[in-house]
Structure 1
Amino acid sequence: MIIYGTGIDVYHVIQWFLIYSILGWCVESIYMSFCEKRLVNRGFIFGPICPIYGFGAVGAYLLLRPLEGNYVGLYILGSIGATFFEFLVAKLMIRILGAVWWDYTEKPFNYKGIICLESTLAWGLYTICLFGFLHKGVMAFADTYSADVGCVLAVILIVYYFVDFSVHMYRAKKGVPVQKGIRIS
């Protein structure tokens, strides 16, 4: 099935989403483990899936594809779009969980600790990297295994994610700490 107006099939979008979700979790968990000098799981669930990166990368790719090659446009819209997405996710997490998993209060030019200028500038660079080389690698990787294997992996990962997420949501609603979140008053 092709997504209207993109020429891209749903199978590949799902594969890319899962790859970016896992890759984002790996990069952020490694970075934060290095910063904190201890192992850190940066996701909401126990498993290595952080869907904010999947939604962010695939969404940016699908929305900004018309600007491919226009690095100034990609940088500006990538910065603004990712910051807006980060803001929305933070507001949703605060509403549902009463916490967010990041805190920019120590960063200059932050807004309520959930977005900051430093991250906004970085999102633009990440967008350029996404279009410059990262997405080509993700596309190539997704094509290294058969569609049958990809479908089975996708079903397993998605079911695992929703079970793990449901357990964590249940625990969060019961007041049991799930992961280290930053409380926002």
Structure 2
Amino acid sequence: MPYTLSEVIVLFFTYSVVGWLWETVYCSIKDHQYAYRGFLFGPYCPVYGFAITTILITTYQVRDNIILLFIVGMIVASVFEYVASLFLEKVFHMKLWDYSDLWGNLQGRIAPQISLFWGIGVVILVRYIQPFIQRVINWEEGWTHGMLALLIVVGMGTDTVLTMISIKHFHMTTKQWDQRINAFQEQLRERVKKALPEERQLRRDQLEHWDQTFVDHLQKHPGTALSWNERRMIKSFPKMKVLDAKRFNKVKQHLSK
């Protein structure tokens, strides 16, 4: 392998932080407000760290051939994105991105336009960014002799465990909200059945637009609030879908305020 284990760990951490900075700055500018991005609690996005470290290792032998670098980088990045999407869906029952509206997409997980973007990004990364990062890591390795890598493993490992607990709680919370919304819809149906003739159309409209009716109801009768991290997840990933809590998905943005 072209890198030592400690170098791989530091590379992973470095690009996780860079990815977090990129997403935070970009989304904050786009949303006109500060957006704390990332899946974990800390200021890093492991998906960037995993992806870029994998790309650096798999493209090492072709780094001097720009055409092969583009092709291999595009393929590796797209495969990684597909697997990451599948993992999140199967393990956490969540979908954080969806390319279903893009031409040629595969199950909404990857799309040709995005893959081309990844290919160009890999060329820029390997040819212009990584050489500088590697010089910094070489200096760090000579100074800490692998101690930084150990601290990264302990710190991010602890963060991962805490995040897994938080996400499991979040999943349980979304299902509880789904049950609450279902009960609310049943109440609306009963009101339609029992409504006087002059009220029936109003009750039907409330049932048809149940999501807005539910939000109005919450403003008058607030329920259990989401935790800070649960609100952050919703704000950080506005396209996120909880696959087994479909009613919650329709009102999640209102609950995050």
Deviation at 1:123, TM superposition (A): 0.6
Partner Cα distance (1:110, 1:38) in 2: 31
Going from structure 1 to structure 2, the CA distance change for 1:152 and 1:54 (only over 3 Å counts) comes to same
What corresponds to 2:144 in structure 1? 147
Quick one: which of 123, 128, 139 aligns to 1:128?
123
Quick check: which one's strand share is greater? 1
Deviation at 1:66, TM superposition (A): 0.6
What corresponds to 1:3 in structure 2? none
What corresponds to 1:48 in structure 2? 43
Quick one: which of 76, 84, 96 aligns to 1:81?
76
Partner Cα distance (2:56, 2:44) in 1: 19
Alpha carbons 2:16, 2:46 under 8 Å: kept:
yes
What corresponds to 1:116 in structure 2? 111
Deviation at 1:51, TM superposition (A): 1.0
Matches within 5 A, 1:61-76: 61-76=56-71
2:20 matches 1:22: no
2:238 matches 1:183: no
User: Is the partner of 2:132 in helix, strand or coil?
Assistant: helix
Deviation at 1:36, TM superposition (A): 2.2
Partner Cα distance (1:15, 1:168) in 2: 26
Task: Provide the identity percentage.
Answer: 23
Q: Quick one: which amino acid aligns to residue 166 of structure 2? A: H
Deviation at 1:144, TM superposition (A): 4.1
May I ask how many residue pairs the two structures share in their alignment? 180
Q: Quick one: which amino acid aligns to residue 43 of structure 2? A: P
Q: Quick one: which amino acid aligns to residue 147 of structure 1? A: T
Partner Cα distance (2:30, 2:102) in 1: 16
Alpha carbons 1:49, 1:161 under 8 Å: kept:
no
2:93 matches 1:98: yes
Partner Cα distance (1:42, 1:104) in 2: 20
Alpha carbons 2:9, 2:149 under 8 Å: kept:
no
Q: Quick one: which amino acid aligns to residue 16 of structure 2? A: S
What corresponds to 2:54 in structure 1? 59
Quick check: which one's helix share is greater? 2
Partner Cα distance (1:135, 1:161) in 2: 26
Going from structure 1 to structure 2, the CA distance change for 1:75 and 1:41 (only over 3 Å counts) comes to same
Q: Deviations over 1:20-78 (max 9, x none)?
A: 11111111222122222222233212221211111111111111111011111111111
Partner Cα distance (2:123, 2:64) in 1: 9
Partner Cα distance (1:92, 1:32) in 2: 24
Quick one: higher RCO (CA 8 Å, sep 6+), 1 or 2?
1
User: Is the partner of 1:69 in helix, strand or coil?
Assistant: coil
Segments of structure 2 that go 5 or more residues without pairing to the other structure are: 175-225, 244-257
Alpha carbons 1:68, 1:74 under 8 Å: kept:
yes
Partner Cα distance (2:171, 2:158) in 1: 20
Q: Quick one: which amino acid aligns to residue 157 of structure 2? A: V
Alpha carbons 2:20, 2:44 under 8 Å: kept:
yes
What corresponds to 1:159 in structure 2? 157
Partner Cα distance (2:72, 2:96) in 1: 24
Q: Quick one: which amino acid aligns to residue 119 of structure 2? A: G
Which protein is bigger by CA-based radius of gyration?
2
Partner Cα distance (1:123, 1:167) in 2: 32
Q: Please say which of residues 98-107 and 86-95 is displaced more in the overlay.
A: 98-107
What corresponds to 1:35 in structure 2? 30
> TM-score if structure 2 supplies the norm length?
0.63
